[in-house]
Amino acid sequence: MKKIWIGGAGACGVHKEKAMIKNLVKILHFEFVEPEEADFIIIIDTCLSTYQQMLLSFECIEDILKRVKADAKIIVSGCVSKGVKFELTEEQKELLAKIEIVKQEELVPYIAKLLRGYNMEDDFDIPYSVDNVSISLSPVSGCLNHCSFCKSHYMNFELKSYPFEKVKGLARDIEMIDYPFHHVALTASNLSLYGMDLYNRQRAHEVIEAFTKPDKIKFAYIGALINWYKELVDEIIKNPKIKRIFISLESGSPRVYRLMNRPISLENLIRIIRFIKKERPDIIIITEFITGFPTETIEDLKRTIDLIYELDIYPIFVHNYQNSEQVPASKLLNHSEAYCMESSYYAGEKILQQYEKLRDRIQTGEMFVYDRNNEERLYITMLVNGTLKNIRFDQLDREYEKGEFIPANIVKPKQLVKRKF
């Protein structure tokens, strides 16, 4: 049986990673022991906020190293993983050479894979991040450089998909390991293109299916979806775990939209949005658009705003156009920077009512109780605008059971007011 010690200097207090790793160790039936007996030493709460805190962290690491077995693996996370900004002594440099430093946001998956006996590089080279309840990853990067306003035309932004077997491996890890994850976010510049460079066909729907298959995953956020195809639309419609999707609109004016050289026609995009809203009215569709695009008139901008209200979608980003000589749109007659800024302010005021409607939907969202660990604060997780937020149990009107779904509007209004949306 593998033996593990986890702790630290206490410089930053107890991090959430400690509880997650302890839970993982119990599930894998490993044993917690003192440093002298441990095969794995995990030091988490290092701090570099001041020189004194740095000294405390190094003293802790040094003290632990004096006590461990010769073949013990020492893993250090916390602020030390961000890089030491103070000048180090030769002794401190030698100390760092004896340990393995892992970024705090990567620590839990790393420990999980380490304890299960294979290297982090096997599956976890896919860009990802984790917190206490969710995992976010990007299985594809880059695009096909369609849009006339995008700087990818002169940047190194080639389409690159990660092999599907690696993607499935990471999805399988989520299912097998007892992380408290129940939310997955699959994001990319254009998630729809996954697989085009590797398999000559789009397989984004398979990625979505793989990562929403684990029973523990309750919610999913998918974006950005630009190059639509039948299987992708079908997956969005049939998958009840998908609660929010990001669809990039950019403009509601047919003339401006054509100048933007988008990979799908505005007519088809509108048809797809309407179909999704008809079949899945529970899905929150968020979007973005550009103001001040070359040759855009106030009538064009009003068409965009009118379409947003007509489709009943939620624009969370309003971008004022910024010209660059390298993008194809630079060949068009550009507006002044001041005009682009003014048009974005105008649009922001006009869509305020739709944004308020989005806030109203928050009141009827869902919550999912995920943790009742008495060693730390008691939290639930709330689905707010399709995004998970944490609330302490002591802010609620009663106790809730782990795994329980509850409507958000049972929370006292004064508690919702305190929240930052």
- Range name among 65-69, 131-135, 327-331 with the lowest pLDDT average: 131-135
pLDDT at 15 over 80: no
**C-alpha to C-alpha distance for 76 and 52, rounded to whole angstroms:** 18
Q: What is the DSSP string of 380-399?
A: EEEEETTEEEEEEGGGSSS-
Between residues 384 and 144, the one the model is more confident about: 144
Amino acid at 13: G
When pLDDT is cut at 50, 70 and 90, the band that residue 280 belongs to is very high
Q: Flag whether pLDDT at 415 surpasses 90.
A: no
How many percent of the chain have pLDDT more than 90? 30
Check whether residue 79 and residue 133 sit in a common domain: no
Same domain for 243 and 285? yes
Range among 69-83, 210-224, 297-311, 359-373 rated most confident: 297-311
pLDDT at 403: 55
Tell me, yes or no, whether 159 and 298 share the same domain: yes
- Mean of pLDDT values over 189-213: 94
Q: What is the mean pLDDT of the chain?
A: 78
- State which of 321, 336, 360 marks the end of a domain: 360
* 168: pLDDT strictly greater than 70: yes
Rounded Cα gap, residues 23 and 2, in angstroms: 15
CATH number of the domain where residue 53 is located:
3.40.50
Average confidence (pLDDT) over 272-297? 94
More confident residue, 70 or 124: 70
Looking at the structure, do residues 313 and 228 belong to the same domain, yes or no?
yes
Tell whether 181 and 79 lie within a shared domain: no
Distance CA 234, CA 279 (A): 10
Q: Is the pLDDT of residue 406 over 60?
A: no
Lowest mean pLDDT segment, chosen from 111-120, 187-196, 253-262: 111-120
Distances in Å between the Cα of 406 and the Cα atoms of 77, 132, 385 are 36, 20, 15
Per the structure, the complete domain to which residue 342 belongs is given by 118-360
- Predicted pLDDT at 158: 79
DSSP for 318-372, please give it: EEEP---TTSGGGGS-PPPHHHHHHHHHHHHHHTHHHHHHHHHHHTT-EEEEEE-
Kindly report whether the peptide bond that precedes residue 224 is cis, defined as omega within 30 degrees of 0: yes
User: Is 53's pLDDT higher than 50?
Assistant: yes
**376: exposed, middle or buried (C-beta count within 10 Å: 0-12, 13-18, 19+)?**
middle
Residues 356 and 368 in one domain: no
For the chain, the domain total comes to 3
Higher confidence at residue 123 or residue 291? 291
Cβ 250 vs Cβ 289: under 8 Å: yes
